[in-house]
């Protein structure tokens, strides 16, 4: 299970990254809408200049994408924990039902013994009219005793199963609740980071926004006509066609459609149209299917970026991919060879 504790998040309130962010905000506050007219070179000793603003915003965009993907993975883990808790609770119910049924059988055996309906060996000897009848009654006694012992054993097993199921259910429920608390805290952090990033991004000029978008999400390429993107299987074709149909939809952190997406949300949505379930997590998706060398990529392959993985798209051929790239950029076609390329997986 991936770590989702708040103190493991890549963006913290101290250290070099926070200082860079503070400097960036200072630059934006001073330069404001006149960033484009800033001097071409920094004054000696200035750690951050107007010219650095776009690259720092791009860096912040990547940090935020990492955080978002950790949040997405935490939600996936939470869903797994909740399913485990539900399964464990079902096991408790089944074990308790079995124990109740066996307890009824045991009570019936005890009732027979208590009321004297049972037959002892001496009584069998005294009341038998012949050796054969006596042997028959002894055989019956042994059968009853065996059934009694069997019921006792099954009751003990059922009781143990019920106790173990209850313990498992309580453990799963506690872990699920811990995940709920951690995801809620991470979501609060994420919303704070998003608001800060949007303020930084909005303060850039149009030209600098374009530069920041390209630095993090790669250059935008002209989308090929739909008929030009041909996959080797119906499932891969469905995934590609669905992803391409989302071109122009906005990038929204932690979104998975139908009208807005983050990177792993888009791939999840596209493959769902092909009947294939993917987790809403780029790192998890990058472990599925089969690894594919760069030279053997086919339309419909997942292509992922950075280490640890924090971005993912769908290859469409010709060295291109369709992906939800970054805030401020809609779903678009870009080069698979953008910065950070880490590998590819074939899902179908």
Domains and CATH numbers, the chain: 6-209 (1.10.287), 218-346 (3.90.1720.10)
Listed in order, strand segments (DSSP E) in 233-310 are 290-291, 302-305
- Does the predicted model carry a pTM greater than 0.75? no
Prior bond to 216 cis, omega within 30?
A: no
pLDDT tens readout for residues 219-240: 899 999 988 999 999 999 999 9
As a whole number of angstroms, the distance between CA 50 and CA 60 comes to 16
Tokens, residue 283 = 């790192």
* From 62, 216, 280, 323, the catalytic residue: 323
pLDDT computed for residue 146 by the predictor: 57
Check if 263 is active-site.
yes
pLDDT computed for residue 193 by the predictor: 86
pLDDT computed for residue 14 by the predictor: 39
Highest mean pLDDT among 146-160, 285-299, 325-339: 285-299
| 23 compared with 75, residue with greater pLDDT | 75
> Rounded to 5 degrees, what angle do the CA atoms 209, 210, 215 make?
95
Furthest-apart CA atoms within the chain: distance in Å: 121
How confident is the model over 102-107, as a mean pLDDT?
Answer: 62
* From 62, 216, 263, 280, the catalytic residue: 263
Return the minimum-mean-pLDDT range out of 70-74, 81-85, 138-142, 260-264.
138-142
pLDDT bracket for residue 282 (50, 70, 90): very high
pLDDT computed for residue 240 by the predictor: 98
Please classify residue 122 by burial: count the beta carbons closer than 10 Å to its beta carbon, then call 0-12 exposed, 13-18 middle and 19+ buried. exposed
pLDDT bracket for residue 43 (50, 70, 90): very low
pLDDT computed for residue 114 by the predictor: 42
Return the minimum-mean-pLDDT range out of 21-30, 202-211, 285-294.
21-30
* From 62, 216, 280, 311, the catalytic residue: 311
Tokens, residue 347 = 């899902």
As a whole number of angstroms, the distance between CA 287 and CA 293 comes to 14
Check if 216 is active-site.
no
* Strand ranges of the sheet holding 332-335, from the earlier edge strand across to the other edge: 220-221, 332-335, 320-323, 311-317, 302-305, 341-346, 290-291
pLDDT tens readout for residues 111-137: 554 444 444 554 544 554 566 655 555
pLDDT computed for residue 310 by the predictor: 94
pLDDT tens readout for residues 232-264: 999 999 999 999 999 999 999 889 999 999 999
């Amino acid at each position: 299970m991936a770590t989702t504790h708040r103190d493991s998040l890549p963006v913290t309130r101290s250290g070099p990254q926070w200082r860079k962010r503070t400097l960036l905000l200072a630059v934006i506050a001073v330069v404001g809408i006149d960033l484009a007219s800033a001097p071409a070179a920094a004054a000696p000793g200035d750690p951050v200049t107007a010219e650095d603003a776009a690259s720092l915003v791009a860096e912040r965009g990547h940090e935020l994408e990492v955080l978002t993907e950790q949040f997405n993975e935490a939600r996936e883990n939470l869903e797994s924990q909740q399913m485990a808790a539900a399964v464990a609770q079902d096991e408790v119910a089944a074990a308790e039902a079995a124990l109740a049924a066996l307890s009824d059988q045991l009570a019936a055996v005890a009732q027979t013994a208590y009321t004297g309906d049972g037959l002892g060996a001496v009584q069998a000897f005294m009341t038998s009219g012949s050796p054969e009848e006596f042997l028959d009654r002894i055989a019956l006694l042994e059968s009853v005793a065996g059934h009694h012992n069997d019921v006792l054993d099954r009751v003990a097993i059922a009781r143990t199963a019920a106790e173990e199921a209850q313990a498992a259910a309580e453990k799963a429920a506690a872990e699920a609740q811990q995940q709920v608390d951690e995801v809620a805290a991470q979501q609060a952090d994420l919303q704070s980071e998003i608001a800060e990033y949007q303020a930084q991004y909005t303060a850039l000029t149009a030209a600098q926004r374009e530069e920041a978008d390209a630095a993090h999400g790669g250059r935008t390429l002209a989308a090929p006509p739909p008929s030009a993107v041909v996959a080797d299987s119906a499932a891969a074709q469905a995934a590609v066609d669905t992803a391409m149909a989302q071109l122009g939809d906005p990038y929204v952190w932690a979104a998975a459609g139908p009208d807005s997406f983050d990177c792993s949300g888009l791939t999840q949505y596209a493959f769902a149209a092909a009947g294939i379930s993917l987790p809403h997590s780029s790192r998890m998706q990058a472990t599925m299917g089969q690894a594919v060398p760069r030279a053997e990529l086919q339309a419909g392959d997942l292509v992922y970026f950075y280490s640890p993985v924090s971005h993912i798209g769908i290859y469409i051929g010709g060295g291109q991919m369709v992906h939800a790239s970054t805030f401020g950029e809609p779903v678009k076609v870009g080069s698979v060879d953008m910065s950070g390329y880490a590998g590819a997986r074939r899902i179908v």
